């Protein structure tokens, strides 16, 4: 696949793909004899991995470290596992924050829906701020 096709498929910019490759978030992409990027299945898998983890909030530095460890081979499996566990904990903490915010939004939406039916907007004692 060309860089344009990858960008269209994953809704990312060419600058983002080039950046990911330049800093090591994805390993060097396969190129044609003329030096044009020619994304193969393995390259696409790395792109998908990067997009997934970045969307989940994994820091770029952590992704770079993961790729480096992967490239060093199977002797780094323990280190990769530890890194992924650390990333998972970071994501779980972020998820907790989102869950709290979603619960608050759901509560507020519910109160407004009741107000739409009754004409009265009311809050519990701990939600006086509306």
**pLDDT tens, residue by residue, 72-97:** 999 999 999 999 999 999 889 989 99
Q: What is the rounded average pLDDT of the residues 116-123? A: 94
- CATH code at 52? 1.10.1660.10
Q: Which band of pLDDT confidence, cut at 50, 70 and 90, is reported for residue 130?
A: low
Total residue count of the chain as it appears in this document: 130
Q: What is the rounded average pLDDT of the residues 104-110? A: 95
- Percent of the chain exceeding pLDDT 70 equals 95
99 inside domain:
no
Gyration radius of the chain over CA positions: 22
25 inside domain:
yes
Instruction: Tell me how far CA of residue 70 lies from CA of 14, 66, 74, 93, 104, in angstroms.
Output: 24, 6, 7, 26, 41
DSSP summary character for residue 57: T
106 inside domain:
no
Q: What is the rounded average pLDDT of the residues 6-10? A: 96
Task: Dig out the tokens for 9 from the structure.
Answer: 């498929």
21 inside domain:
yes
Residue-number span of the structural domain to which 27 is assigned: 3-93
86 inside domain:
yes
- Total domain count, the chain: 1
Alpha helices in the chain (DSSP H): 3-10, 14-23, 41-55, 60-72, 77-118
**Side-chain half-sphere exposure of 78, counting CA atoms within 13 A:** 1
Closest residue by Cα to residue 50 from 25, 18, 82, 22: 25
Q: What is the rounded average pLDDT of the residues 61-75? A: 95
67 inside domain:
yes
43 inside domain:
yes
């Amino acid at each position: 696949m060309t860089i344009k096709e990858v960008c269209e498929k994953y809704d990312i910019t060419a600058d983002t793909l080039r950046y990911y490759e330049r800093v090591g978030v994805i390993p060097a992409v396969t190129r044609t004899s003329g030096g044009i990027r020619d994304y193969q299945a393995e390259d696409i898998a790395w792109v998908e991995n990067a997009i997934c983890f970045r969307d989940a909030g994994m820091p770029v530095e952590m992704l770079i470290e993961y790729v480096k460890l992967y490239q060093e081979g199977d002797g780094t499996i323990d280190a990769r596992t530890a890194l992924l566990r650390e990333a998972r904990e970071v994501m779980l903490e972020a998820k907790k924050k989102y869950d709290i915010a979603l619960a608050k939004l759901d509560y507020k939406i519910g109160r407004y829906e009741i107000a739409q039916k009754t004409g009265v907007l009311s809050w519990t004692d701990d939600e006086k701020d509306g």
